[in-house]
Amino acid sequence: MLNESDVLEVLDLLESAGAVAWVDGGWGVDALIGETTRAHADLDLVVLADQLDLVRGALAGAGFTEVLRDRLPTALAVADGAGREIDLHPVVGSAREGGRQLLPGGERFHYPAPTTGTIGGRRVPCVDAATQVRCHLGYAATDKDRQDMARLHAGTGVELPPGYPPAP
């Protein structure tokens, strides 16, 4: 599990190393809402593909050495000895323009340039609300997914697709 301090520590570490990263997933939803709404098992980060070695090196220096899942070029999940997990989503592009993530089968997913959210009272770069919704489509939503999307809709006004399953 990661708490707000862990997330900010990782973001500071990557920024100090010169790497660009923006928060995605559950922490990204919380950043857009401006408050931590639940416990998070991992931290999802969009990173620039050409900085992936830099990101991995910085994280290794902080103890994130165990590779949980290597699905590169789509994603890479690492963990530290305390059980904190980080899922990296490499994109080709820039923070100014966004980037494209290569998906299995050769498809591409576009992440727009980051917007700003808040974690632990501090402004952080994160994935915008509309993209968060798009990331939650195409698979059977879990209770956690449905709750996150309901919170995102309530907190930002982003529209959910017709028929998106309601939160339990």
Task: Give the tens place of pLDDT for each residue, 1-38.
Answer: 899 999 999 999 999 999 999 999 999 999 999 999 99
Domains and CATH numbers, the chain: 4-156 (3.30.460.40)
pLDDT in tens, 117-128: 999 999 999 999
Is the pLDDT at 47 greater than 90? The verdict is: yes
The confidence band for 164, taking pLDDT boundaries of 50, 70 and 90, is confident
Give, in order, the Cα–Cα distances in Å from 35 to each of 10, 30, 99. Answer: 18, 5, 27
Is the pLDDT at 89 greater than 90? The verdict is: yes
The confidence band for 167, taking pLDDT boundaries of 50, 70 and 90, is confident
Q: What is the pLDDT of residue 166?
A: 83
pTM for this entry:
0.94
Mean pLDDT to the nearest integer, 54-68: 94
d(CA 97, CA 76): 22
Whether 68 contacts 88, CB under 8 Å: no
Residues near 19 by beta carbon (within 8 Å), at least 6 away in sequence: 47, 48, 51, 54, 55, 58
Average of per-residue pLDDT values in the chain: 95
Is the pLDDT at 105 greater than 90? The verdict is: no
State both tokens at 163.
Answer: 């028929």
Strands 66-71 and 85-94: unpaired
Q: Which residues of 114-138 are buried (b: 16+ CB within 10 A; e: fewer)?
A: bbebebeeeebbbbbbebbbebbee
